Amino acid sequence: MHFSIPDTQELNEGNGSTFIGYNIHINGIFHCTVRYKQLHNLNEQLKKGFGNEAVPAFPPKKLLPLTGAQLEERRVQLEKYIQTIGQDSRLVTSELIIGFLLSAQQETTCEKKQDINLDIYTMNNYQIPVWVSSFDRTEQVLATAFKYINLPLEYLDYFSLYLVKKDNSGEIIVLRKLLDFESPYISHKLQRDANKIVLRKSYWNTNYDFELMNDPIALNLLYVQTVTEVEKGWIFTSREIKSRLTSLQVSLAKREYIEIAQSLKYYGFMQFLPCFCDYPKPETKVLIAIGNQELSMRIPGTGQMVKEGSFKVTRMRCWRITATHNKQDMAANSRCSTNSSLELSFEYLMSKDKLQWITISSEQAILMSVCLQSLVDELLLNRNGVKKKYLPGTRSSWSYMKRDGSSQLISIDDVSLDNKIDDTQEGNYEESFSIKKLQEKFSSVSFKNGREFIENHAFECIGDDDL
């Protein structure tokens, strides 16, 4: 996940005094505002639960009021702290972090806990009305939707909830995937440009399709998503294949429809809006799609001419997100999305001894990065014979400190069937290469300290025989 604290704000404590709130953005979207003492309390609990060595250094307390320069220094330090936590799968998926972020979102928005009707949609616009709590986290809402449509909970990890919108032309744009530290109701309310919460599959390996197609409800979900993506042109078809698919659609031959679609270009890919890339030359307009262990790039030409190329995920050594924030605009819009110019840069192994940075400029750069990370995670798990990554539950008495200093217990209700893999299975995939190990091999490449780079543990060197 991509954490940032791009700015701060001065808030009233209610008794006439003020305090500094730090605005936390996750995956490019404003999530919550917290005080220093709340993050300090979180840090103390993390050290007790996971040990001092597992937790990054926390900015020290100051006895005197902070100057403007000291405040900015603390903001940067807190941002680095929470970014480091975001790169540790054991910490960021813990009950404590999930509960803290969920509670902070609730407190920031001043939402009251109440039962509400929340509409969830499938890709073909079928409405799933669910009765949930306004505080329910994403997994709980997803499970409620499963029960409404009679889909077994064993398939819970194959689907996710997404925020989507339609542009003026009616094109569907996926904004982001909802995660388990947030309330779908609150997040949908906060993100003003989100039209709907949509249920769609959230895996990359198309072999999972065959397991899901054994269940009639799961089969139907896969089918309506596939039909929509064919109709939108996200999956490429010839005139002959399109005619054949239409015939299968008329006869409701859902399994056969999906099996044909699986053989088509861009099946199982996430498509993105047109953007710009500095490869093969600066300011090249491109169409990006991610799936099948690659980032695909299409360069539109004259007429219907399109140049295509692909970058294998296993040859991306690392990548990073950079954002140029407009502080004035952000101050006015801090409760919605960040007003930023976003870039996704990845270092690619072009040949045996040649690494090259490639940069994509897109408002969806963070979503691209999230897709790359989830693709890599799934790839590593598949290599080790594990279907899905389940972190063992750490049941402890965690608490959330509110802004006024009072505390409440964090309670995360588990809706999963059980812990499907044990501690020895989880996270024990071998890291073949690392940035530090490769510094000597590629001595001409400079590295910066910190978490600016997202290291790709699926990176594979190539030899002469591979060229």
Between CA 328 and CA 66 the distance in angstroms is 22
Looking at residue 330, its pLDDT comes to 44
Tell me the mean pLDDT in the region 136-143: 96
- Helix, strand and coil content of the chain, in percent to the nearest 5, comes to 35, 25, 40
Between CA 91 and CA 87 the distance in angstroms is 8
CA angle 222/269/248 to nearest 5° reads 40
Assess contact for 134 and 111: CB atoms under 8 A.
Answer: yes
Buried b (16+ CB within 10 A) or exposed e, 340-366: bebbbbbbbbeeeeebeebbbbbbbbb
Q: Hunting for tokens 């963070």 — which residue is that? A: 366
The CA radius of gyration of the chain, in Å to the nearest whole number, is 23
Architecture in CATH of 270-387+430-466: Roll (2.30)
Q: What does the block give as tokens for 218? A: 């799961």
**pLDDT range class, residue 87, cuts 50, 70, 90:** confident
User: Could you tell me which of 221, 229, 157 has the C-alpha nearest to residue 378?
Assistant: 157
115-262 has the same fold as 3-111: no
Q: Where are the domains of the chain?
A: 3-111, 115-262, 270-387+430-466
**pLDDT range class, residue 172, cuts 50, 70, 90:** confident
With a CB cutoff of 8 Å and minimum separation 6, the contacts of 14 are: 404
User: Could you tell me which of 105, 96, 93 has the C-alpha nearest to residue 187?
Assistant: 105
Is residue 215's pLDDT more than 50? yes
Q: What is the mean pLDDT of the chain?
A: 85
Q: Hunting for tokens 């993506």 — which residue is that? A: 229
115-262 CATH fold: Ubiquitin-like (UB roll) (3.10.20)
Does a cis peptide bond (omega within 30 degrees of 0) precede residue 280? yes
β-bridge partners, 337: 29
For residue range 369-394, list pLDDT tens digits in order: 999 999 999 999 888 877 665 444 45
Looking at residue 388, its pLDDT comes to 61
Q: What is the pTM of this model?
A: 0.85
Looking at residue 441, its pLDDT comes to 47
Q: How far, CA to CA in Å, does 448 sit from each of 259, 276, 445, 451?
A: 46, 25, 10, 9
Of the segments 127-141, 181-195, 324-338, which one has the largest average pLDDT value? 127-141
DSSP secondary structure letters along 158-197 = GEEEEEEEE-TT--EEEEEE--TTS-HHHHHHH-TT--EE
Is residue 116's pLDDT more than 50? yes
Name the pairing type of β-strands 159-166 and 172-177: antiparallel
Between CA 219 and CA 227 the distance in angstroms is 12
Any idea what DSSP says for residue 53? G
3-111 CATH fold: PX Domain (3.30.1520)
Q: Is 143 helix (H, G, I), strand (E, B) or coil?
A: helix
Range of lowest pLDDT (41-55, 99-113, 379-393): 379-393
Give the DSSP H or E segment for 77: helix 68-86
**pLDDT range class, residue 418, cuts 50, 70, 90:** very low
Cβ-in-10-Å burial (0-12, 13-18, 19+) of 15 comes to exposed
Tell me the mean pLDDT in the region 184-199: 90
- For the beta carbon of residue 118, count every other beta carbon within 10 angstroms: 20
Strands (E), 80-169: 115-121, 127-133, 159-166
Assess contact for 31 and 104: CB atoms under 8 A.
Answer: yes
Range of lowest pLDDT (155-164, 178-187, 322-331): 322-331
**pLDDT range class, residue 1, cuts 50, 70, 90:** confident
